[in-house]
Structure 1
């Protein structure tokens, strides 16, 4: 059911209601509110009557979803030890589906325990049925999401210079694309707010589109099987790093057979080349898709991230 709401001043889980111009969808999930990324027609989109969203529900929550053509942001608002920091989360899924539960909702709820407001982005799947240019569709959604969060920063007690992005796998590719293509004009921007993340958290990310390093499924879905060398280079995001690229925290398992560890290594080395503050954690185990952790040494990465966020003043020090 759709209602029109506006974010009120809040430090509690429930939103105070007032007149607004954005439409939100109240859900039964743990998040406070879910709202549309775009109002009206999405730039460079195409109408596809038979392209319907397909969701897998488990225990009353959307575990996974594919065929996304209407992007949304699910807001999870922290209630204690508020850090004035917000993070937009991009779940993975090879640009064909989104692992919303494991790499979205659970992560958002964990960030809330740290005092961080989290926003899970259900971004569109690149499809020639719904997009004029599949390569820029997810980036459009990510840029718009960052601007939307910043537009509500004062009302949510978020500092404008503490809005980051976190991405897993193909969502890590989108997060690194946003971090290196944040000022690229992929739609007509009317907002005064920047789409540049203040920091990036990349967990077993797809970074390269180059043969032998990329995740082929993600590359085919985003760029097409016959992508030009120019397009491949453009979306091999380590090659797009410069001194303005946001500080980054990277995590990867050495035994990842789906997305080779070289993706993170290439990104880290280019960050180092441009003296961008960065930290990388490589683990001997974990494989791919471990989310917050399964069993083994890689389960330490959330603790390492807390330390990094605290060291860089994005997180309050809790005694």
Structure 2
């Protein structure tokens, strides 16, 4: 069955777990299963997905085994054909789907950008043959779906970027440096390279001195193999083909040290990858859009300079 027949349209302006959505510049929202049928590399297991605190407005979904994409389409009158795939953070234990997902998608829609919030699977041995590559497989699958449907969704297939927060930033950076190696063999030969990357207070390195230990241990622990530590230290995997980056980090982040963004920017600079690094003075970790410094204004300027906000002719 064609993918478009499997699209589950939950509502034009609201969805399960989502906050109230402002109608301004949002045309429709729909939820799409990331896979049809059995997920490659998965193990049949009990669905243990849950919400950490059902009374908290910032929904945090734990132990995800059923991955989906929530697509936010802007009003056709302002749509410019650019797409951003959003990977919320959560230490590879869950995803902060509202603060680092839906609310970001709404803001991107105001720019005419189509946004896709990915509820990716958590690395769990009981549900994956290789838990270390399960999230990356989901990120690559999301890129494949968005790019392969670019025509029907009126997207420019050369303007599909990826955006990640905290551990989601690690996943986004992983997709940006490992795009030549498809986790799922069925995706081999497809263009899995994001055209640009946007990283907010990202976990980048698995080096003991600067990593976020919880994210590292959840993805590749408890036993740390040197090859895996190196593979998932994304600053060590940058090449001249790595896509351009916009990176934001607070200098007072005590959860994910700012050195993560610094070493990644340095690697990008050494490989002559056009990138912008914004270090804001305060805000700690996990602020999403809620920082007294409006980093999104800087992002808008960067996207404008990258010709990502020009309306398609």
Q: How does 1:188-267 map to 2 (within 5 A)?
A: 188-190=185-187, 193-267=190-264
Cα distance between partner residues in 1 of 2:221 and 2:9: 33
Does residue 160 of structure 1 match 2:157? yes
Partner SS, residue 152 of structure 2:
helix
Supply the RMSD in Å over aligned alpha carbons: 1.8
* Structure 2 match to 1:11: none
Equivalent in the alignment of 2:10? 26
SS of aligned partner of 2:185: coil
Q: CA deviation at 1:192?
A: 6.3
Deviation at 1:269, TM superposition (A): 0.4
Tell me, in whole angstroms, the C-alpha distance in 2 between the residues paired with 1:25 and 1:52: 24
Is the aligned partner of 1:312 residue 2:306?
yes
Query: Could you list the runs of 5+ residues in structure 2 that have no partner in the other structure?
Result: 16-20, 22-27
> Is the CA contact (8 Å cut-off) linking 2:182 and 2:188 kept in structure 1?
no
Within-5 A mapping of 1:132-171: 132-171=129-168
2:25 aligned residue = none
Q: Specify the alignment match of 1:17 in structure 2.
A: none
* Pair 1:237–1:190, CA change in 2 (3 A): closer
8 Å CA contact 1:151–1:193 kept in 2: the answer is no
Q: Deviations over 1:160-192 (max 9, x none)?
A: 100000000000000000000112131122586
Unaligned runs of 5+ in 1: 8-19
Quick check: 1:303 aligned with 2:303? no
The answer as to 2:73 corresponding to 1:89 is no
Question: 2:54 & 2:64 partners in 1: Cα distance?
Answer: 15
CA-to-aligned-CA distance 1:39-60 (integer Å, 9 cap, x gap): 11111111112x411024458x
Separation of aligned partners in 1, 2:78 and 2:146:
20
Residue 67 (str. 1) matches residue 63 (str. 2): yes
Task: Name the CA shift for 1:191/1:117 in 2 (closer, same or farther; >3 Å).
Answer: farther
Q: After superposing the two structures, state which structure 1 stretch, 132-141 or 286-295, moved more.
A: 286-295
The offset of 1:316, in angstroms, is 2.7
Give distance in 1, aligned partners of 2:111 and 2:270.
32
| Aligned residues of 2:166 and 2:203 also touching (Cα < 8 A) | yes
